[in-house]
């Protein structure tokens, strides 16, 4: 997806880095509007800084928290008005110093110092608290906090709740710029409905937000500004700016996962066009886009040239039709690295997230907004079907799914419940919500675990390397094995059909562990059940079969049924497709670990997939 604002107007409220921000916006194809919103005012005769220095030199400070690089340097200058800088630096060597990211670390390096504790990205004060909890308990400690611009009462309160005695040390404050005319013009352009109307607003600090609305209130246009933001795509550099934005009654449309100005610009240029179209469509459909969630979105497919599911690149690919571009399938849980997802997971368990339809739908849509994909896959887990069968499922941190009452004998199989598929209605509700809020030409994929993989979890009780318990039951007690597989086939067929009825455009069978079997074992113990499962599915939705670890199973898996064969990185794409034939689509098969490398390296791995195939195969069906 290109990084291109396509000539749209982008307002930034940067001051010190205004010229740099303007250049970044231009490079990304936007028309920059720079409205400086703040200036630093150093505190003269800084009594708080001198009081801190006095306590430090007397050995009465345990921990110093440095929030900014500029603030660190100003603190040293303020102290130097009364005390020796050399003695001050020597005293700093005797205490713990926490640096909130690389900028205060760089300021310390200039003095020949290094932080005792470096707060990891994204370098926010909540990250600071987590780091202190893990590395340095502060109960009964005297903690000094270098403040900047404006005091953070939430941070001070949180430190005090942990038992610290907190000494705030302000070193500068933020004021409006002396010339606020550019800020007034920016407000006018945001409110305007003419050609000068602003399309994107980028915020890189909380003070920018406060000062923007301060000027709007002074000019009696705050209400108009709030109303205008309903049609402006809002980007925030990170959590602190986002809190200020939401505090003004707005919703952040995009927050990158790294708190860098360049990433904010590039990501907004890459995703902003779609997000702006979505926001203005929602506004036209009477949705309050200042106070909305992704699940509140309403589309009207087929009207005003809006595309429909018939235009879906993903669905055309599943049907082996000509497509405008070749989709690249990334088999990865999209949410786990996202800050927004992690915030949700701190509040709820995995099972609670899966069983709360609004949250599951929101997380599904979150990945779509972030990545700009051709299809979404509903947020759920393959093992949800085991609970209504009577098994005690738990997701254990660091271990994954655990079944506390595993199946080991025929008697255990016979004790399983014959579940009502409606016990899984929370999944179907999540699909309904997601399908309504998802752009009509973006497909929604439902899924389930295939019978062998689910049976293996049920027997092993969790993850396994050798599947000894599973294979022992399979070989020793064939009747028990087939009884278990028949039960799973029935519930999984009903489960997937209900997902299709709820709005899933395609469904995928994940047989993640079946690669542990030989072709003969697959043919005897698994294939009849998968075949019956696929034959029982609603034919309106393509079926994707996916396995890992054993390309020798591909011909048998094709014979078991399905419209698309998913391949992992251990299969050669061209060879696999020649084995499967051209009456199925194939999906794969880059190693997901490649995603840990650079964008250039990722492109270098993706490109060979179709260049190797081009001589023999029609790559439009990939």
Long-range (24+ apart) CB contacts under 8 A made by 192-195 are: 192/228
Contact 116, 97 (CB under 8 A): yes
| Distance (Å, whole) CA 597 – CA 607 | 15
Which backbone phi and psi does 236 adopt, to 5 degrees?
Answer: -125, 140
Please give the full DSSP string across 308-348, using - where no structure is assigned. Answer: -GGG-HHHHHHTT---SS------S-GGGG-HHHHHHHHHS
Query: Hey, is 431 helix, strand or coil?
Result: helix
Q: For residues 451 and 457, give the distance between their C-alpha atoms in angstroms, rounded to a whole number.
A: 10
Cα separations (Å) of 115 from 50, 66, 68?
Answer: 22, 9, 13
177: three-class secondary structure by DSSP: coil
- Contacts of residue 299, defined as CB under 8 A and 6 or more positions apart, other chains included, come to 281, 285, 306, 436, 437, 438, 439, 440
**What is the length of the chain?**
622
What are the backbone angles phi and psi of residue 376, rounded to the nearest 5°? -115, 150
What separation in angstroms does the CA of 598 have from each of 454, 511, 594, 595, 605? 35, 30, 8, 8, 11
Question: Catalytic: which of 457, 495, 522, 525?
Answer: 457
Say how far apart CA 454 and CA 384 lie, in whole Å. 10
Burial of 9 (0-12, 13-18, 19+ CB in 10 A): buried
Number of DSSP helices (H) and strands (E) in the chain, helices first: 26, 18
Are 606 and 312 in contact, with CB atoms under 8 Å apart?
no
Integer distance in angstroms from the first to the last C-alpha of the chain? Answer: 18
CA dihedral 46→105→210→340, nearest 10 degrees, is: -150
Q: Assess whether 185 carries a catalytic annotation.
A: no
The tokens for 91 are: 């005293």
Check if 332 is active-site. yes
Q: Is 428 helix (H, G, I), strand (E, B) or coil?
A: helix
User: 3-state class of 90 per DSSP?
Assistant: helix
Instruction: Calculate Rg over the CA atoms of the chain.
Output: 29
Does residue 339 have an active-site annotation?
no
Which of 336, 476, 583, 603 does the annotation list as catalytic?
Answer: 336
- Using CA atoms, how far apart are residues 72 and 85, in angstroms rounded to an integer? 13
Are 187 and 215 a contacting pair, CB within 8 Å? yes
Among the options 345, 408, 410, 436, which is catalytic?
345
CA angle 276, 363, 564 (to 5 degrees): 95
> Is 200 within 8 Å of 231 (Cβ atoms)?
no
Residues 62, 274, 369, 381: which is the catalytic one?
A: 381
Alpha-carbon dihedral sign for residues 57, 58, 63, 64: negative
Q: Active-site residues: which are they?
A: 332, 336, 345, 381, 457
């Amino acid at each position: 997806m290109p990084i291109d604002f396509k000539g749209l107007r982008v307002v930034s409220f940067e001051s010190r880095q205004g010229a740099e921000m303007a250049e970044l916006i231009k490079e990304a194809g936007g028309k920059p509007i720079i409205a400086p919103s703040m200036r630093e005012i150093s505190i003269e005769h800084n009594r708080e800084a001198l009081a801190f220095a006095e306590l430090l030199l007397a050995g009465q400070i345990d921990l110093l928290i440095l929030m900014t690089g500029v603030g660190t340097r100003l603190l040293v200058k303020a102290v130097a008005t009364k005390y020796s800088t050399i003695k001050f630096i020597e005293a700093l060597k005797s205490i713990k110093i926490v640096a909130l990211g690389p900028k205060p670390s760089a300021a310390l390096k200039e003095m020949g110092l290094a932080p005792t504790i470096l707060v990891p990205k994204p370098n926010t004060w909540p990250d600071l608290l987590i780091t202190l909890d893990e590395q340095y308990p502060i109960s009964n400690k005297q903690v000094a906090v270098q403040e900047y611009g404006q005091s953070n009462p939430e941070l001070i309160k949180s430190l005090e709740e942990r038992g610290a005695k907190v000494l705030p040390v302000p070193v500068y404050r933020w004021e409006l710029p002396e010339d606020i005319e550019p800020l007034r013009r920016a407000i006018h352009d945001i409110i305007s409905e003419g050609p000068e109307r602003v399309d994107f607003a980028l915020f890189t600090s909380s003070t920018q937000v406060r000062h923007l609305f301060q000027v709007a209130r002074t000019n009696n246009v705050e209400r108009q500004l709030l109303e205008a933001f309903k049609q402006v795509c809002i980007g925030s550099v990170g959590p602190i700016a986002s809190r200020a934005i939401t505090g003004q009654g707005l919703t952040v449309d995009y927050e990158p996962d790294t708190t860098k100005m360049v990433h904010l610009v590039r990501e907004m240029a890459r995703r902003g066009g779609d997000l702006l179209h979505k926001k203005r469509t929602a506004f036209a459909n009477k949705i309050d886009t200042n106070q909305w969630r992704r699940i509140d979105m309403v589309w009207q497919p087929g009207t005003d040239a809006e595309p429909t599911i018939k235009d879906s690149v993903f669905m055309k690919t599943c049907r082996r039709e000509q497509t405008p571009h070749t989709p690249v399938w990334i088999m990865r849980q999209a949410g786990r690295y996202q800050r927004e997802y992690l915030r949700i997971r701190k509040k709820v368990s995995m099972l609670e997230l899966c069983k709360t339809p609004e949250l599951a739908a929101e997380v599904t849509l979150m990945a779509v907004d972030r990545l700009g994909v051709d299809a979404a896959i509903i947020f759920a887990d393959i093992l949800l079907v085991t609970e209504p069968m009577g098994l005690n499922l738990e997701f254990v941190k660091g271990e994954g799914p655990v079944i506390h009452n595993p199946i080991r004998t025929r008697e255990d199989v016979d004790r399983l419940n014959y579940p009502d598929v409606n016990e899984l209605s929370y999944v179907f509700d999540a699909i309904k919500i997601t399908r309504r809020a998802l752009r009509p030409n973006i497909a929604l994929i439902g899924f389930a675990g295939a019978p062998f993989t689910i049976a293996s979890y049920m027997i092993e009780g969790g993850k396994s390397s050798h599947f000894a318990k599973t294979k022992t039951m399979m070989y020793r007690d064939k009747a028990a094995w087939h009884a278990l597989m028949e039960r799973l086939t029935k519930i999984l067929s009903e489960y997937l059909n209900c997902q299709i009825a709820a709005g899933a455009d395609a469904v995928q069978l994940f047989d993640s562990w079946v690669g542990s079997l030989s072709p003969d074992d697959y043919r005897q113990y698994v294939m009849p059940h998968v075949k019956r499962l696929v034959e029982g599915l609603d034919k309106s939705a393509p079926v994707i079969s996916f396995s890992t670890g054993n390309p020798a199973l591909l011909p048998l898996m094709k014979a078991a049924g399905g419209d698309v064969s998913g391949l992992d990185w251990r299969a050669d794409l061209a060879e696999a497709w020649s084995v499967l034939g051209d009456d199925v689509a194939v999906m794969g098969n880059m190693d997901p670990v490649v995603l840990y490398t650079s964008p250039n390296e990722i492109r270098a791995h993706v490109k060979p997939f179709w260049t190797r195939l081009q001589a023999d195969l029609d790559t439009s069906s990939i």
